[in-house]
A and B are shown apart, each in its own frame.
Chain A
Amino acid sequence: DTGVSQDPRHKITKRGQNVTFRCDPISEHNRLYWYRQTLGQGPEFLTYFQNEAQLEKSRLLSDRFSAERPKGSFSTLEIQRTEQGDSAMYLCASSKPGQLYEQYFGPGTRLTVT
Chain B
Amino acid sequence: QKEVEQDPGPLSVPEGAIVSLNCTYSNSAFQYFMWYRQYSRKGPELLMYTYSSGNKEDGRFTAQVDKSSKYISLFIRDSQPSDSATYLCAMVDRDDKIIFGKGTRLHILP
Chain A residues within CB distance 8 Å of chain B: 4, 33, 40-45, 48, 55-56, 58, 91, 93, 100-108, 110
Contacts and interface: CB of A to CB of B under 8 A. Distances in A.
Prevailing SS type, chain B contact patch: loop
A45 B102 contact: no
A91 B34 contact: no
B100 A56 contact: no
Contacts of A105: 36, 43-46
B8 A40 contact: yes
A103 B98 CA distance: 9
User: Chain B, interface size: which category?
Assistant: 20 to 34
B107 to A, nearest CB: 15
Nearest to B92: A101
B99 A45 contact: yes
B102 A41 contact: yes
B32 interface: yes
B100 A42 contact: yes
B48 to A, nearest CB: 10
Nearest to A92: B43
A56 B42 contact: no
A103 B43 contact: no
A39 to B, nearest CB: 11
B96 interface: yes
